[in-house]
Amino acid sequence: MELNFLTIIDLAGTFSFALSGAFAAMEKRLDPFGVIILAFAPAIGGGSVRDVLIGDLPVAWLSNNITIGVIIFAAIAAMLFASRLKKFEPLLQVFDALGLGLFTMVGIEKGIMHGYPPGICISLGVLTGCFGGVLRDVVLNNVPYLFHKEIYASASIIGGLGFFAFQSAGMQTTLLNIVCILLIFFVRMLAVRYHWSLPAFYKHPNNL
Amino acid sequence: MELNFLTIIDLAGTFSFALSGAFAAMEKRLDPFGVIILAFAPAIGGGSVRDVLIGDLPVAWLSNNITIGVIIFAAIAAMLFASRLKKFEPLLQVFDALGLGLFTMVGIEKGIMHGYPPGICISLGVLTGCFGGVLRDVVLNNVPYLFHKEIYASASIIGGLGFFAFQSAGMQTTLLNIVCILLIFFVRMLAVRYHWSLPAFYKHPNNL
Amino acid sequence: MELNFLTIIDLAGTFSFALSGAFAAMEKRLDPFGVIILAFAPAIGGGSVRDVLIGDLPVAWLSNNITIGVIIFAAIAAMLFASRLKKFEPLLQVFDALGLGLFTMVGIEKGIMHGYPPGICISLGVLTGCFGGVLRDVVLNNVPYLFHKEIYASASIIGGLGFFAFQSAGMQTTLLNIVCILLIFFVRMLAVRYHWSLPAFYKHPNNL
C-alpha cells in the first residue's frame, strides 16, 4: 500500500516531467518524434541517474511498460492540445514544478528504503528532482531553470528538510508525502510568480 | 556466429562514430589529444549509457582492448588523412549516419538478448544510436544533429519498427540486421541531401 | 595504509574540485544553494562515472558522509572568503588543476586495483580527472577547460604515461603517486601561465 502510493507519485511525476519535456521541444519546433524523445529526457533522467548511482539496476523504467506508455501518452496529448494553447512556456513551468515536487519525494523515499542517512536522502531527492530538468534544458541548449534567478533547487532542498522535520514531529507517512510535494510545488510556483530569489550572501567583486 | 556478426557490427559502429568524433574535434581545431578524447565520446557514449541502464557492468569497452584500439586508430587515421580533405563536415555526416544505423541495430539486439519487449528494444536502439552523437555535440557546444530540422532520431525509430516488421514476416536474422542498418543509413543520408523533415503536426502559436 | 593514502588523495581532490565548482558558480552569481550544488558536480562527477562504468556500485560518495561533508564545507568556505578575493577565476584554475592531478591518480589506482591493463587504467584516470570539470562547465554553459587552447587532458595523459614509466623503473608507490600528481598539476599550471598548447599536427583546410 505504501509502495503503491509511491508508485502513483512516481507515475504522476513521470507524466508531469514528460509534459514539460514535450512543451520545451514544441517551443523549439522539433518534429513529433523529437517531441516524444524530449519527453523521455526529464521523465526518466533524474530517476535513472539515482538508480544507477545506488546500483539499483536495471533502472525502473526498463522493467515495466507503464512508464514508457505514460511518457508517449503525455507527448501525444501535448501535441494534440497544442492548438488550444497560446503559449507553451507557462505550462512548461507548472508541470516542471509539479515534477520537481513529486520526484524529490520519490528520491527521498528511495533513499530511506535503502537505509541512507537524512543528508544522503535529501541529496538523492534533489538529484531525482533536478537532474531530469537540467538534462532537458542542456540537450535543448537552454539555460537550465536550475540557474535562473528564481529559487529552484532550493525549493527541493526546503521540501527535503521539511520532510525530516515533519517526520520527527510524528506526521503520518502518506500525509507527509503530500505536504512535502505541495510545499515544493508552491515554493517554486510562488518564486516564478513573484521572482523570489535568494540573496548571494557572499560579496561579489565589482570587476566582474 | 550470431554473436560474432553482432561484434563486427559493434566494431564498425565504433569506428564510424570515432571518425565522426575526430572530424568534429578537428573542425573545432582541438589538439591531437583532444581529437583522440573526442573520438571516444560518440564511440562509447551510447553503448555505455545502454549497458549502465540495463546493469550490464562493467561496460563492454572496459573488458577488451580492441575497442580502445579501434578508437585510437580511427582518430589517428582521421588526422593523417586530414590534409587530403577539403572539408570535414560532409565526412562527419556520412560516418555519423553509418554509426547511427550500426549502433541502433546493436542496441535492439542487446534488448532482445535481455528478453525485453519490442517497445523497450526500440528505445534501447534509439538510445544506443543517438546518445553518443548528442554527447559529442553537447560537449563541443554544437547544436546536436538530433535537433536539426532533417530527420535523425526518426530514422533510428523507422529502422527499429522495420526490424520488428521484417522479423515477423520471417526474414533471416543476419539479412534482417543488414537491411535495417542500410535502411537507417539511407533514410538519414537522403534526409541530409534533400533536407527532409517531418512536419510538426501540432499548430504552433504565432507569437513565438 | 596504501588504501589510506589513496583515500586522502581522493578527499583532497574532492575538496579541490568542490572549490573549483563553487568559484565557477559564484562567477555566475548563483545563490548559496546553487553554489553548493555546483560544488558537487566536479567533486563527484568524474568518480561517479568511473565507478558506474566499472560497476563498482553504489558509488563511493553514497557510502560515507565524509565526502558530502567535505563538499559542503568547501562551498561554504568559498562563499565566506569571497569578500577577500578580487577575482574567482585564477583560484578556479588552481584548484581545477590540483583536482585534475589528484583525481587522475585515483582513477589510475582504481584501474590497477581492478586488474585492468595500463591503457585502460590511463583512460580511467583521464575520465576521473576530466569528466567532473566538463560536467561543471557544460551545466554552467561555459566552454569546458578541456577545449581551451592550453593543454588540459594532455596533462592528465602525460601524468598517466609518467606513472607507468616511473613504476617500471621501480619507484616506490607513495612517492610515485606524489610525483605524478605534481607532474600533472605543474604541466597544467605552466600551460595556463605561458599559454602552452600542442600543435594540431594535421593540416587544417583553409576554407574553414
Are C151 and C191 in contact, with CB atoms under 8 Å apart? yes
Is A154's Cβ below 8 Å from some Cβ in C? yes
The answer to whether residue B199 is domain-embedded is no
Neighbours of C, requiring at least 3 CB pairs below 8 Å, are: A, B
Q: What is the mean pLDDT of residues C101-126?
A: 93
Counting the structural domains of chain C, the total is 1
Q: What is the mean pLDDT of chain A?
A: 86
Query: To the nearest whole percent, how much of chain A has pLDDT over 90?
Result: 46
Sign of the torsion formed by the C-alpha atoms of A105, A109, A110 and A112: positive
pLDDT at A65 over 70: yes
Does the beta carbon of A77 lie under 8 angstroms from any beta carbon of chain B?
Answer: no
**What phi and psi, each to the nearest 5 degrees, are found at residue C76?**
-65, -45
Q: Please indicate whether, in this complex, the C-beta atoms of B87 and C204 are within 8 angstroms of each other.
A: no
Write down which chains contact chain B via at least 3 CB pairs under 8 A: A, C
Confidence (pLDDT) at C73 = 94
CA A77 from chain centre, in angstroms, equals 19
* Per-residue confidence band for A207, with pLDDT thresholds at 50, 70 and 90: very low
Question: Is a pLDDT exceeding 70 seen at residue C50?
Answer: yes
What per-residue confidence (pLDDT) applies to A202? 67
What is the spatial distance between Cα C200 and Cα B151, in angstroms, rounded to a whole number? 34
Q: For residues A47 and A43, what is the distance between their CA atoms, to the nearest angstrom? A: 8
Asked whether residue C29 is domain-assigned, the answer is yes
**pLDDT, position C70:** 93
Quote the CA–CA distance of A91 and A88 in Å, as a whole number: 6
Whether residue A200 and residue C29 make contact (CB cut-off 8 A), yes or no, is: yes
**Cell 557492468, residue located:** B57
Give yes or no for residue A145 having a pLDDT over 90.
no
Do A138 and C142 form a contact (C-beta atoms < 8 A)? no
Nearest Cβ partner for B59 among C53, C134, C197:
C53
Grid cell in block for residue A112? 530511506
Alpha helices (H) along chain A: 2-27, 32-54, 66-80, 89-113, 118-139, 153-168, 173-194
The model's pLDDT over C152-204, given as tens digits with 9 standing for 90+, comes to 888 999 999 999 999 999 889 889 999 999 999 999 999 988 888 777 656 66
B65 touches chain C (CB under 8 A): yes
Other residues' Cβ atoms within 10 Å of the Cβ of residue C23: 28
Supply the pLDDT for residue A2.
46
Answer whether A203 touches B (CB < 8 Å): no
- Is residue A145 domain-resident? yes
A-chain residues near C78 (CB < 8 A): 202
Partners of C130 on chain B (C-beta within 8 Å) are 37
The three-class DSSP label of residue C96 is helix
pLDDT-derived band at B2 (thresholds 50, 70, 90) equals very low
Q: Which of A52, A78, A80 sits opposite B52 (nearest CB)?
A: A52
Q: Is residue C202 part of a domain?
A: no
Q: Do the beta carbons of residue B18 and residue B71 sit within 8 Å?
A: yes
Element (H or E) spanning C170, and its range?
Answer: none
Any C CB within 8 A of A59 CB: no
Quick one: pLDDT at residue A201? Answer: 59
**B32–C contact, CB cutoff 8 A:** yes
Say yes or no: B120 contacts chain A, CB-CB below 8 A.
yes
Q: Does A112 touch chain C (CB under 8 A)?
A: no
In terms of residue numbers, what domain contains B180? 2-194
Does residue B133 surpass a pLDDT of 80?
A: yes
The interface predicted TM-score (ipTM) is 0.79
Average pLDDT, chain C: 86
Q: Would you say C47 and C106 are in contact if contact means Cβ atoms under 8 Å apart? A: yes
Instruction: Determine, for residues C147 and B37 on separate chains, whether the beta-carbon distance falls below 8 Å.
Output: no
Banded model confidence at residue C3, pLDDT cuts 50, 70, 90: low
Q: Is residue B164 part of a domain?
A: yes
Cβ of C62 within 8 Å of Cβ of A52? The answer is no
Task: Return the residue of B nearest to C57 by Cα.
Answer: B57
pLDDT at A178 over 90: yes
Q: Is residue C1 pLDDT above 60, yes or no?
A: no
Chain B residues with beta carbon closer than 8 angstroms to that of C198: 31-33
Sign of CA dihedral C195, C200, C205, C208: negative
Answer yes or no: is C15 within a domain.
yes
Predicted confidence at residue A171, as pLDDT, reads: 87
Residue C169 distance to chain A (closest CA, Å):
38
B154 close to A (CB below 8 A): yes
Which residue of B26, B29, B33 is the best one to mutate when testing the C interface, meaning the one whose CB has the most C CBs within 10 A? B33
Which pLDDT tens digit goes with each residue over A103-144?
Answer: 999 999 999 999 999 989 999 999 999 999 888 888 887 777
Do the Cβ atoms of B114 and B134 come closer than 8 Å?
no
Measured between alpha carbons, how far is residue C27 from residues B56, B187, C91, C192, C193 in Å?
A: 40, 45, 11, 19, 21
Cβ of residue B1 closer than 8 Å to a chain A Cβ: no
> What are the residue ranges of helices labelled H in chain B?
2-27, 32-54, 66-80, 89-113, 118-139, 153-168, 173-194
Report the C-alpha gap between A72 and A198 in whole angstroms. 36
As a whole number of angstroms, the distance between CA C92 and CA C96 comes to 6
Percent of chain A with pLDDT over 70: 91
> What is the predicted pLDDT for the residue at B207?
43
Summarize pLDDT for B140-197 with one digit per residue, the tens: 877 777 777 678 888 999 999 999 999 999 889 889 999 999 999 999 999 988 888 8
Pairwise CB contact (< 8 Å): B54 & A52: no
Residue C7 counted as domain residue:
yes
Asked whether residue C5 carries a pLDDT value surpassing 70, the answer given is yes
- Is C50:A44 a contact under the CB 8 Å cutoff? no
Nearest one of A9, B99, A204, B62 to C81, comparing CA atoms: A204
**Residue C139: its chain A contacts at CB < 8 A?**
134, 138, 144, 146-147
Cβ-based contacts of A59 with chain B (< 8 Å): 53, 55
List the one residue out of A180, B71, B201, A161 whose CA is nearest residue C120: B71
Residue B120: closest CA among chain A residues belongs to which residue?
A62
The answer as to whether B11 is a domain residue is yes
Cell output for A31: 518534429
CB contact under 8 A, A33 and B203: no
Taking CA A75 as the corner, what is the angle to CA A70 and CA A76, rounded to the nearest 5 degrees?
A: 100
C203/B contact by beta carbon, under 8 A: yes
Chain C residues with beta carbon closer than 8 angstroms to that of B70: none
Minimum mean pLDDT range among A26-40, B192-206, C174-188:
B192-206
In this predicted structure, what is the pLDDT of residue B101? 94
Tens of pLDDT, residues C79-99: 988 767 667 677 888 888 999
Q: How confident is the model at residue A208 (pLDDT cuts 50, 70, 90)?
A: very low
pLDDT of residue B49: 92
Q: Is the pLDDT of residue C207 over 70?
A: no
CB of A63 less than 8 A from some CB of B: no
